[in-house]
Amino acid sequence: MTTLAPPYNFSSRKQTIARHFASANHYDQHANIQQRVCQYLLANIADTEQDSVLEIGAGTGQMTRLIAAHIQSQQWFINELCAEQAATLQSILATAKIAIGDAETMDLQGNHSLIISANTVQWFDNPLSFVGQSALRLQAKGQLIFNTFTANNFLQIKALTGQGLQYPEVEQWQSALADAGFENIELTIQRFDLTFANPYAVLKHMQLTGVSTNRTQAQANDNQGFTWTKTRLQQFERDYWQQFCNKDQQGKPCVILTYEVLIVSAFKA
């Protein structure tokens, strides 16, 4: 069963996010880091038998497929921003209740034993609010497990364009979790440096995984954007080669793009 958040409308920023991911038709072929994150989250779920599982921001179903295959649950609830993904998610978990809408604003009340979210929370207007919302939706002793990213994520893009999301510090996550009544809090950082043949390949990778370099959070809220021009692209390429050049395994020149992932696991007291 699929439900839509009433009223089914988003802020302009969330509409932009939904549009980018809806058009990322080859996401699963290129989102290798995101898939590795899903595998890590799966490995750190404390119990393979659950009463009720809520997944936030399921996207194309990378995480959904893993938990469907490895976790037993009496009830499944799946949230996703893009309505285009509803049929795919329902095909993965036929018994799941699919809730299409903005997880920050729609009613996702419940009494879940596990809340999980992969590669989603960084897109929230107020990422730290996810902790308090999750505490209200979890059973006592229920597990919250998710990932987000650190300020070093896509550091090359930020350095060269000034564009990118703003991420809470690790200490802020720790405080938010403790204040919301979570215990057994574990925060783990993992860094991945991907190599690409040239700076244009970096931009293509980001486009194919639904990420836009065109807007910061503040600009998106103000309907202002960063516009690529021929001159700006040429300068971007020169600067990228100059500042972030490396060599691949064959010794050929390449450029680096950094992912820095924060994994969060905690249990409701």
- Per-residue pLDDT band for 6 (boundaries 50, 70, 90) equals very low
Tell me which of 27-36, 132-141, 185-194 is least confident: 27-36
Q: Are 142 and 245 in contact (CB under 8 A)?
A: no
Helix then strand then coil, in percent of the chain rounded to 5, is 40, 30, 35
pLDDT of residue 7: 43
Sorted by sequence, the CB contacts under 8 Å of residue 25 that are 6+ apart come out as none
| pLDDT(247) > 90 | no
Tell me which of 50-54, 73-77, 82-86, 157-161 is least confident: 82-86
Q: Are 226 and 164 in contact (CB under 8 A)?
A: no
- Per-residue pLDDT band for 39 (boundaries 50, 70, 90) equals very high
Q: What's the rounded Cα separation, in Å, for the pair 26 and 123?
A: 20
Q: Where are the alpha helices (DSSP H) in 116-169?
A: 129-137, 155-161
Q: What's the rounded Cα separation, in Å, for the pair 230 and 253?
A: 23
The arithmetic mean of pLDDT across residues 234-248, rounded, is 94
Q: Which of these, 110, 39, 33, lies nearest to 70 by C-alpha position?
A: 39
**Before 7, cis peptide (omega within 30)?**
yes
- Per-residue pLDDT band for 86 (boundaries 50, 70, 90) equals very high
pLDDT of residue 182: 98
pLDDT of residue 248: 81
* Residue entry with tokens 């839509």: 4
Q: Are 76 and 70 in contact (CB under 8 A)?
A: no
190-229, pLDDT tens digit by residue?
999 999 999 999 999 988 887 765 444 444 444 456 788 9
Sorted by sequence, the CB contacts under 8 Å of residue 145 that are 6+ apart come out as 41, 44, 45, 114, 115, 116, 117, 263, 264, 265, 266
pLDDT of residue 22: 65
Q: What's the rounded Cα separation, in Å, for the pair 203 and 226?
A: 14
